Amino acid sequence: MDLHGVITGRVWRLGDNINTDLLHPPSYFSLDGRKVEEGLREGMQRLGADLREEHARDGLVIVAGENLGGGSSRETSVRALRTSGIKAVVAASFARIFYRSLANLGIPPLECRGIQRWVRDGDLIRISIKDGFIELDEAGRFPISPLDDHIEKILQCGGLVPYLRRMLDGI
Amino acid sequence: MTSGFTGEIIKAHADGGREGEYLSVKADFVLLPDPMLALLLTDLRELGGHVWNREKVLVTVDHFAPPSTVEGANMVKRVLSFVEEEGIPHYSLYGGICHQLLVEGPWVGPGMVVLGADSHTTTAGALGCVATGLGSTDILYTLITGRTWLRLPEASRVNLTGKFPQYLMGKDIALELLGREGESGFLYQAVEFYDLQGIIPMDDRLALCNMVVEGGAKNGLFSPDEVTRSYLEGRNGPSGQWKWAFDEDPQYRRAMDVDLSSLTPKLALPHSPSLVVDVEETEGETIQQVFIGSCTGGRLRDLEAAASILKGKKVAPGLRLLVAPASLKIYQSAMESGFLQTIVEAGGVVLNPSCGPCGGIDKGILGTEETCLSTSNRNYRGRMGDPSSMVFLASPLTAAATALRGKIADPREVL
């Protein structure tokens, strides 16, 4: 993906310690993409997401608090985010497996403190990874922690599978 | 660098590749449980990739064991085809939970780097290795290249001191630490344990390392000692790699003590493993189901502890007691020792070794507003069934005492 452009989307706001079982209930583990996507809708409903169809059409950006994505390594939770068109995931801090899986599936995981309390579901958000900030209409700009070179490289390839393919092809 | 043994082990496995803060690190062994393996097989095939070293992986069918849905059955089918096509020598079909099978076998020991496609891979750190969980795509990378990318974590040292009372288990120590530090207290850290008197049994160490991930840790590790040595020498097949892999004194970011002699039985309230209280504070809460099993609480010492409380008694009317030994080996030992007989006579149902109720997969899913006390590791909302169900986490001793009363009970009252 192009990390130089501006990502715009609608906020889906989450609290602290939202684990993968909450985000994507275990019974929706599947190899069937439709069922995996359905699991995310169930998770959104259980977590009380207040989003409308047009928000989803614009593309969503998760904005969460501390320790996002703890618990199970089931990658279906992140696959569901990818197929549902989540453009980026912003959190004050991430659980490690979830952080890696986001990058591995080509979704930028962005660390940013202090923004969570300024956003509501459906708010417009603009992210410039290159310039290192997130912009909100009313609350202004919030700095994001720079991505590690390794994570940036994986994201530029579009995820770990294309990264690996390039490596195997000797590019 | 304050990254403990973990940092030394990672550096010893680095192959020289580096991107940003990540080192390219060689893996000694990879654990592949059925659902997470099934998830990566399409990508593996599309890449035309093969397992870099067939001797260094263990495939387990433990989540869908045996499958209770057509979809599960088809995932197992894919996994078994993979085993056959790749000629994988080490695999287990319904033989037990991956994290237990991994440490029972001859494959892992102190100083190694062990990766698994499941978050509770941290369990194996009880043997003195760096063992950590990864998502399926990360594991795909490792399967093809034999490597992964790791950062050096900060390490916390935990000194376990004092006498280990009969009413306590590794689970209580894990809950004590989670209660102190919270769900993100160990975020991205290595947690390294020192059993200063060499008195904590391996089964308790495994339970403790299993649950460090509930505090966000990258891995848990027990400093290898005589308990480690005798465990490695006593298990199936060769004793694994036994050596003091660590020449220098490891450095830590911080240290903390847990005085076992003053610890009391602990319990985690719904819906977080770090919402921890003393068992006596919740005594009397009505429980409909007790589950003794999982990669945290289904080992031989767990079953022995439960049997010691259930012996000659009956579970409370209406209470469902489900017991799942973590492996077939444990199942057989518990049968030979009479623990299973005791459990069945008390009114318990013995399930086959598998993940089962812990992840809400099968055999004991909770209905609307039901309550369960479980020896497993996670009580997140909806994990074991309906989102309105309530799960409490505690040791097998507390679980057995609770099964007898039908209400949460302190094991000190019945021991």
The nearest alpha carbon in chain A to B116 belongs to A73
| Global confidence as pTM | 0.98
Residues of chain B neighbouring A161 (CB-CB closer than 8 A): 43, 47, 137, 140
The pLDDT value recorded for residue B249 is: 81
The pLDDT value recorded for residue A1 is: 82
User: Over pLDDT 90: what percentage of chain B?
Assistant: 95
Q: Tell me the C-alpha distance between B52 and B143, whole Å.
A: 6
β-pair type (B371-374, B390-393): parallel
Compute, in degrees rounded to 10, the torsion defined by CA atoms B59, B62, B63, B68.
120
Q: Tell me: the pLDDT tens digits for B266-283?
A: 999 999 999 999 999 999
The nearest alpha carbon in chain A to B272 belongs to A17
Nearest to A96 among B20, B141, B218 (CB): B218
Q: Tell me: the pLDDT tens digits for B12-56?
A: 999 999 999 999 999 999 999 999 999 999 999 999 999 999 999
The nearest alpha carbon in chain A to B142 belongs to A164
CB contact under 8 A, A96 and B187: yes
Residues of chain B neighbouring A36 (CB-CB closer than 8 A): none
H or E element at residue B136? helix B136-145
Distance from CA of B133 to the nearest CA of A (A): 7
Distance from CA of B166 to the nearest CA of A (A): 30
Residues of chain B neighbouring A22 (CB-CB closer than 8 A): 380-382
The nearest alpha carbon in chain A to B21 belongs to A148
The pLDDT value recorded for residue B241 is: 58
Residues of chain B neighbouring A21 (CB-CB closer than 8 A): 378, 380-383
Asked if the structure places residue A105 within a domain, the reply is yes
Over residues A138-156, the mean pLDDT reads: 97
Asked if the structure places residue A16 within a domain, the reply is yes
Asked if the structure places residue A1 within a domain, the reply is no
Number of H helices, E strands in chain A: 7, 7
User: Over pLDDT 90: what percentage of chain A?
Assistant: 94
CB contact under 8 A, A73 and B119: yes
The pLDDT value recorded for residue B246 is: 60
Asked if the structure places residue A103 within a domain, the reply is yes
Residues of chain A neighbouring B216 (CB-CB closer than 8 A): 67, 70, 95-96
Nearest to A104 among B42, B137, B381 (CB): B137
User: Which residue, among B380, B381, B388, B391, would best test binding to A if mutated, counting the most A CBs under 10 Å from its CB?
Assistant: B380
Residues of chain B neighbouring A152 (CB-CB closer than 8 A): 20
How many separate domains does chain A show? 1
* Res B240 pLDDT > 80: no
* Res A130 pLDDT > 70: yes
Report the alpha-carbon angle A45-A46-A47, nearest 5. Answer: 90
pLDDT grade for B239, boundaries at 50, 70 and 90:
low
Residues of chain A neighbouring B22 (CB-CB closer than 8 A): 148, 150
Residues of chain A neighbouring B149 (CB-CB closer than 8 A): 150
User: Which residue, among B119, B121, B379, B391, would best test binding to A if mutated, counting the most A CBs under 10 Å from its CB?
Assistant: B119
The pLDDT value recorded for residue B233 is: 87
The pLDDT value recorded for residue B237 is: 61
Nearest to B135 among A19, A27, A100 (CB): A100
CB contact under 8 A, B134 and A149: no
Establish, for the pair of chains A and B, how many residue pairs have beta carbons separated by less than 8 Å: 122
The pLDDT value recorded for residue B235 is: 87
The nearest alpha carbon in chain B to A152 belongs to B20
Residues of chain B neighbouring A27 (CB-CB closer than 8 A): 360
CB contact under 8 A, B135 and A75: yes
Over residues B301-309, the mean pLDDT reads: 98
> Strand pairing partners for A12?
A62
Token pair for B205 = 């160490």
Type of residue found at B54: R
Distance from CA of A57 to the nearest CA of B (A): 27
Query: Mean pLDDT over all residues of chain B?
Result: 96
Distance from CA of A74 to the nearest CA of B (A): 7
CB contact under 8 A, B187 and A95: yes
The nearest alpha carbon in chain B to A77 belongs to B135
The pLDDT value recorded for residue B185 is: 97
* Res B315 pLDDT > 60: yes
Asked if the structure places residue A46 within a domain, the reply is yes
Listed in sequence order, the residues at least 6 apart from A7 whose beta carbon sits closer than 8 Å to its beta carbon are A61, A87, A88, A108, A126, A127, A128, A129
Containing structural domain, residue A108: 6-168
Asked if the structure places residue A64 within a domain, the reply is yes
| DSSP letter string, B63-117 | SSSS-SSHHHHHHHHHHHHHHHHHT-S-EEESSB-HHHHHHHSSS--TT-EEEES
Fill in the DSSP letter of residue B124.
G
The nearest alpha carbon in chain A to B213 belongs to A71
Nearest to B39 among A25, A75, A100 (CB): A75
Asked if the structure places residue A159 within a domain, the reply is yes
CATH number of the domain within which A151 lies: 3.20.19.10
ipTM for this prediction: 0.98
Tell me, rounded to whole angstroms, the distance of Cα B193 from its chain centroid. Answer: 16
Asked if the structure places residue A53 within a domain, the reply is yes
Residues of chain B neighbouring A168 (CB-CB closer than 8 A): 47, 49, 144
Over residues A2-17, the mean pLDDT reads: 96
The pLDDT value recorded for residue B6 is: 96
Cβ-based neighbour number of residue B286 at 10 Å: 12
Nearest to A100 among B138, B214, B382 (CB): B138
Over residues B404-415, the mean pLDDT reads: 96
CB contact under 8 A, B141 and A164: yes
Over residues B59-74, the mean pLDDT reads: 97
> Which domains can be identified in chain B, with CATH numbers?
4-242+250-258 (3.30.499.10), 267-413 (3.30.499.10)
* Res B69 pLDDT > 80: yes
Q: Tell me the C-alpha distance between B126 and B377, whole Å.
A: 16
Nearest to A31 among B38, B133, B272 (CB): B38
Comparing A59-63, B241-245, B276-280, which segment has the lowest mean pLDDT?
Answer: B241-245
